[in-house]
Amino acid sequence: MNIVLLDSRQTQSDIWKISSDRQIAHLNSHLAVKVGDTLKVGIRDGDRYLTEIIAVSEREVLLRPIQKEAVPAKLPVTLIVALPRPKVLRRIIMDAVTMGVQHIRLIHSYRVDKSYWQTPFLQQLEHYMTLGLEQAGDTIAPKIELHKRFKPFVEDVLPQLIDEHCPAYVAHPYTEQKMPFAIEHACTVIIGPEGGFIPYEIDLLIKNGCQAVSLGNRILRTETAIPYVLGRLFSTC
Amino acid sequence: MNIVLLDSRQTQSDIWKISSDRQIAHLNSHLAVKVGDTLKVGIRDGDRYLTEIIAVSEREVLLRPIQKEAVPAKLPVTLIVALPRPKVLRRIIMDAVTMGVQHIRLIHSYRVDKSYWQTPFLQQLEHYMTLGLEQAGDTIAPKIELHKRFKPFVEDVLPQLIDEHCPAYVAHPYTEQKMPFAIEHACTVIIGPEGGFIPYEIDLLIKNGCQAVSLGNRILRTETAIPYVLGRLFSTC
């Protein structure tokens, strides 16, 4: 947690109050904050501030804003991921948010177990985003959308995301063309499920405007591939 | 698991035998292999083969090698990481091995909890490496070394790893110089603990030949920073 995220309702008066059990526990046990310390605080979907702690108890921490700070810029990327196992879902949402992905779309695919769409973890996306924003020092949550049917998504939604200024790259081990690097434009990145997209799916993605590109001859797990690809694509950011 | 790793003792005759419970469970329940299927198999620290399955039971799978395959090249990098929490340790070792890191060194640092050096997870490094190699389709385990004292490591060991053809980059949020990208030479990458290196440590690293470089103004978790940095540095591989 590199900033504490507050709701705008918590920051309406001159004195702000942190009262979430999770945040208080972190501030008290992990950071051992005390009166007079400074603390970075973000207002959810708003500004970020340096604040001064003016009171600490086991139940709440009171703050006084000192000065506004810059919120880090987002990466100009839409990340499309085949819905992973529930445990992995938490991590990829947190990580994608931390790295500054602008828009996340979770899609179905042949090798996605249908039961994954029933996981209670999908009700927790808001919480994972908060953790990712607090890690990054960001305040603006990306948009997350779910697409439970592969073909309608690829044929009807995906083409609207692609144009000459915003190509779509699907990571695919069995192709000659390499994933680009150090790009200076927006793009869409598509990461398949464990075991990969099936040939029909790759063909449909290509037919609808995607470029199949390889990351080399090592097969990475979804949760490793995402930061590896974003680090590669946006190395000039 | 994209290949099954066998010990060279398991591949001395014409017919090879897989008998590890973990590997058999994966082949039977996850891949549902049957006689006549092909299977990618690596010999630990040796070659990689395409094989044909000639018998399947609940206890063992028998194989016949068909042809040799290429083992993926390593990244020319030494990864130095402040020892993370035990749960994170498993993941970073697996990921680093999967991405092809050549040499891993786990070091102490002021913000590393001393209890981490007592974790039983440190006895499991061999197993995590196997999982990483099986994910990548690799057979050659990187070298892992542990350095429980920061100062002697930085002053006595680290300078020997650095020369004009192999610089060392320490990821540090508070510096102007950016982490390079698309490099075409070997390097050493140093990733600090949760909360970062303390100023004394950064100073000592710089004094001993490291370049402090920034990844931008988002603070990534250790396990996210490693693939992000490797994707960025080795984007031409």
Distance from CA of A84 to the nearest CA of B (A): 16
B177 in Cβ contact with B170 (< 8 Å): no
Interface residue A134 vs chain B (CB under 8 A):
no
Same domain, B107 and B222: yes
**Minimal Cα–Cα distance from B130 to chain A, Å?**
14
ipTM confidence: 0.95
Q: β-strand A168-171 against A61-69: which pairing, if any?
A: unpaired
Judged by CB atoms closer than 8 Å, whether chains meet at B2 and A219 is answered as yes
- pLDDT for residue B165 is more than 90: yes
Task: Indicate the SS3 state at residue B225.
Answer: helix
Nearest to B134 by CA among B213, B39, B205: B39
Residue type, B75: L
Clarify whether residues A172 and A225 are in a common domain. yes
**B87 touching A, CB under 8 A?**
no
**pLDDT tens for each residue of A82-100:** 999 999 999 999 999 999 9
- Among candidates B100, B220, B226 on the partner chain, residue whose Cβ is nearest the Cβ of A218: B100
For residue B156, give how far its alpha carbon lies from the nearest alpha carbon of chain A (Å): 32
The answer to whether residue A237 scores a pLDDT higher than 90 is: no
Read off the pLDDT band of B237 (50, 70, 90).
confident
**pLDDT, tens digit (0-9, with 9 covering 90-100), for A200-214:** 999 999 999 999 999
Nearest-CB residue to A224 (from B98, B225, B229)? B98
Number of independent structural domains in chain B: 2
Among the candidates A28, A52, A69, a domain finishes at: A69
Overall average pLDDT of the A180-198 stretch: 96
Q: How far is B155 from chain A (nearest CA, A)?
A: 30
pLDDT at residue A26 in the model: 92
Tell me the residue range of the domain where A56 lies. Answer: 4-69
pLDDT (0 to 100) of residue B225: 97
Write out the two tokens for A45. 């979907």
Q: Which of B49, B51, B76 is nearest to B62 (CA)?
A: B51
Residue A159 pLDDT level (bands cut at 50, 70, 90): very high
Domain CATH number, residue A121: 3.40.1280.10
Output DSSP code: residue A141. P
Residue A78's H or E segment, with its range, is strand A75-82
Question: Which residue from B minimizes the CA distance to A93?
Answer: B224
DSSP string, B101-162: EEEEEEE--TTS-GGGGG-GGGGGHHHHHHHHHHHHT---PPEEEEE--HHHIIIIIHHHH-
In terms of domains, do B147 and B180 share one?
yes
Nearest to B134 by CA among B42, B27, B22: B42
Res. A22 pLDDT band, cuts 50 70 90: very high
Condensed to tens digits (0 to 9), the pLDDT of residues A118-128 reads 999 999 999 99
Backbone angles phi, psi at A3, to 5 degrees: -140, 165
Same domain, A153 and A198: yes
Q: Same domain, yes or no, for A89 and A200?
A: yes
Q: Is it the case that residue A44 has pLDDT exceeding 80?
A: yes
Confidence class for position A50, pLDDT limits 50, 70, 90? very high
Q: Is the pLDDT of residue B73 over 80?
A: yes
Q: What are phi and psi of B119, to 5 degrees?
A: -65, 140
Residue of A nearest to B139 (CA): A218
| Cα–Cα distance measured from residue A209 to residue A193, given in angstroms and rounded to the nearest whole number | 20
The answer on B118 and B221 residing in a single domain is yes
pLDDT value, residue A65: 96
pLDDT reported for residue A231: 97
Based on the fold, state whether residues A141 and A155 are members of the same structural domain: yes
CB-based contact (8 Å) between B99 and chain A?
A: yes
Nearest residue in chain B measured CA to CA from A69: B217
Which domain-ending residue is among B19, B46, B69? B69
For residue A174, pLDDT over 90 is answered with no
pLDDT at B224 over 80: yes
Closest residue in B to A91 (Cα–Cα): B224
In this predicted model, what pLDDT tens digit does every residue of B133-142 receive, in sequence order?
999 999 999 9
Whether residue A195 sits in one domain with residue A126? yes
Residues A200 and A160 in one domain: yes
Distance CA(A26)–CA(B110), nearest Å, equals: 19
Q: Which of B34, B69, B104 is the last residue of a domain?
A: B69
Which residue among B2, B138, B182 sits closest to A235, beta carbon to beta carbon?
B182
Considering the domain architecture, whether residues B65 and B109 belong to the same structural domain is answered as: no
A216 shares contact with chain B (CB less than 8 Å): yes
Residue B211 is inside which H or E element, if any? strand B210-213
Residue B227 in contact with partner chain A when CB distance is under 8 A: yes
The answer to whether residue A31 scores a pLDDT higher than 90 is: no
Interface test with A, best of B101, B219, B233 (most A CBs within 10 A): B219
Which of B135, B225, B230 is facing A221, going by the closest CB pair? B135
Same domain assignment for residues A109 and A15: no
pLDDT tens for B85-131 read 999 999 999 999 999 999 999 999 999 999 999 999 999 999 999 99
- pLDDT of the residue at B135: 96
Contacts of A182 in chain B (CB under 8 A): 181-182, 235
Inter-chain CB proximity B228 and A224 less than 8 Å: no
Whether B148 and B53 share a structural domain: no
- With b for 16 or more beta-carbon neighbours within 10 A and e for fewer, the A18-36 pattern comes to bebeebbebbeeeeebeee
